[in-house]
Structure 1
Amino acid sequence: MIDSILSDIELTKNTFRKLIVTSNYKKTSDTTIGWDKYTSGIFKNLYAKEYESLIRNRQYSFLLKDDLGFVQFFYEWNKNDVLEKMKMAYYPYPLKVKDEIGNIETYIDDSDDLVLEEYYYDLWNILNHNFELNVDDENLEKALIEAIRVGNTESKEQLILGKFENKYEFTNSSHFRIDYDSKVVSHHKTEIQVGAINNLRLPLNKIISPFMFFDFIFKNIFKKDKDLKKIISSNNYLTNYNNSKKLSFEINPFDELNIYVSHI
């Protein structure tokens, strides 16, 4: 089965190549698909820092274009070719600057992303109440002068926080993933989870293929992309979609007395 999944990931790359900047997946052993220096676990941290750390350490299968995040595919089988673990996840880019163009301190020092570095610096100043320093541009000083002139009763702190909120748009604050663990007993073997919200897991009665997961991300995240129609109207897309769907299989036994997801 490992070769079938690897082929499906390759099919995903070829089908959606216009959306992918970099690919970073491989068969890392006879029983594993992932990438070099794979690390597991969920950060209990600022999401922007989690995102940046994973990018820096190349903890992804596909890096997407236009700062639209990255996708992970990880699989592990036993020696009898029975799937034991799986993770497929989408990590969206955490924010964007609306304007054109100690942990927080260390975030600034080791950041490779200019937008996130500026965000960490502004956040550091907000948390340390160094309001003389930043978020400092000419517009802020003008806002303070105008506030005094018109008798605005807001404090300088409130004005700074307002400037911070106007400068950044927090587009995402966590990731989305589907996990499978054949040995787990505390919850269902396959579940959909958002970030690290451990107490809210949505059971899924099937394991879906890499292509199907990426297709779901693609149709929702890239719905305004000019390449969308080109890809789904190509001669091979529907064939690839139907063939990939056959790789999905049901989890047995599956018994859920609450809501759950049943993949097509």
Structure 2
Amino acid sequence: MTEANFHISFSKVEKALSFFNLLKMKGVKRLINDGVSDDFKHASLGNKYYYAYKIGLENNDFDFLLKDESFFQFQFEKIDDLLEIRYAFFQNPFEYLSYEEFLLHEIDLDTNKESLETVGNLFEQEYSQFLNERELTSSYSTLRYDSDFKNYKPILHSVSHIHIGHLSNIRIPMDKVLSPLRFVLFTIKHVYYNNWKDKLDKNRCDLMKMLSDCKSGETLLHEDFWTEDEKIELHLK
């Protein structure tokens, strides 16, 4: 993948997240230029995923923040003519409700004879307290994609691979360098199933066009970095 193709694909991520009704905001940083904070780098090497997530959120170490306060990161470093790529998705590990959902779950509107519209911001203090006291959920995911040429070892550490889980040794090999948009769509399908299903049911043509478009700019690995032995192993194509 060229640097230009990376930027073209990255520019389509915001529209894709909005299409699935997931986007809350773009980050105040552009991680390709600004990088992540030193605090986040240190925290991400630790054993406690939720701590790394909180540091990333507090330090704005993201390119895109989702409505449930999960976030995406996109970075690369150019070494000679190769891109050493890192994409990451950090799912919010804490119980999350939007303000509207909090009102529906926690407040008896019938008893109060109020509607969501008339309640307005009256319960913001209670909502803020809920966010501060929320507990870890029973299930959350973190996904990362790397193209890592410098640490390539056939059958052990593939150049192109997807990580599943925090600090795990799960590396699913791939035969190509993945685009930012492809990583986002992969994440949405497997983490935000209901959003994906809704668009598949109601906007199938637009979804299929996006899936076709996400392949643009991706490049197959050269045989120097994708051997015949590796093709025997289970991998993503």
- Mark yes or no: TM-score above 0.5: yes
Structure 1 partner of 2:114: none
Structure 2 partner of 1:118: 133
Q: Is the 8 A contact 1:62 1:72 kept in 2?
A: yes
Counterparts of 1:47-66 in structure 2, within 5 Å, are 47-66=49-68
Counterparts of 1:189-228 in structure 2, within 5 Å, are 189-225=159-195, 228=198
Q: How many residues align?
A: 196
What do the CA deviations read for 1:97-121 (whole angstroms, capped 9, x no partner)? 79954xxxxxxxxxxx8557435xx
In the alignment, does 2:217 pair up with 1:247?
yes
Runs of 4+ residues deviating >4 angstroms = 97-101, 113-117, 234-237
**Hey, what's the Cα distance between the residues in 2 that align with 1:53 and 1:241?**
32
Q: Which has the larger radius of gyration?
A: 1
How far 1:193 sits from its partner (Å)?
Answer: 1.5
Structure number with the higher helix fraction is 2
What is the aligned-residue identity percentage?
Answer: 21
Q: Aligned to 2:34, what secondary structure does the other structure show? A: coil
Where do 5+ consecutive residues of structure 2 fail to align?
Answer: 107-127
Where do 5+ consecutive residues of structure 1 fail to align?
Answer: 102-112, 120-166
Counterparts of 1:86-97 in structure 2, within 5 Å, are 86-96=85-95
Larger relative contact order, structure 1 or 2 (CA cutoff 8 Å, min sep 6): 2
In the alignment, does 2:23 pair up with 1:20?
yes
Residues 15 and 184 (structure 1), Cα distance of their counterparts in 2 relative to 1, 3 Å cut? same
TM-score by length of 1: 0.61
**Hey, what's the Cα distance between the residues in 2 that align with 1:190 and 1:44?**
24
Counterparts of 1:1-264 in structure 2, within 5 Å, are 1-17=2-18, 18-24=21-27, 34-39=32-37, 40=41, 42-67=44-69, 69-78=70-79, 82-96=81-95, 101=106, 117-118=132-133, 169-172=137-140, 175-186=142-153, 187-225=157-195, 228-229=198-199, 233=203, 236-253=206-223, 254-255=226-227, 256=230, 259-263=233-237
Q: Is the 8 A contact 1:97 1:115 kept in 2?
A: no
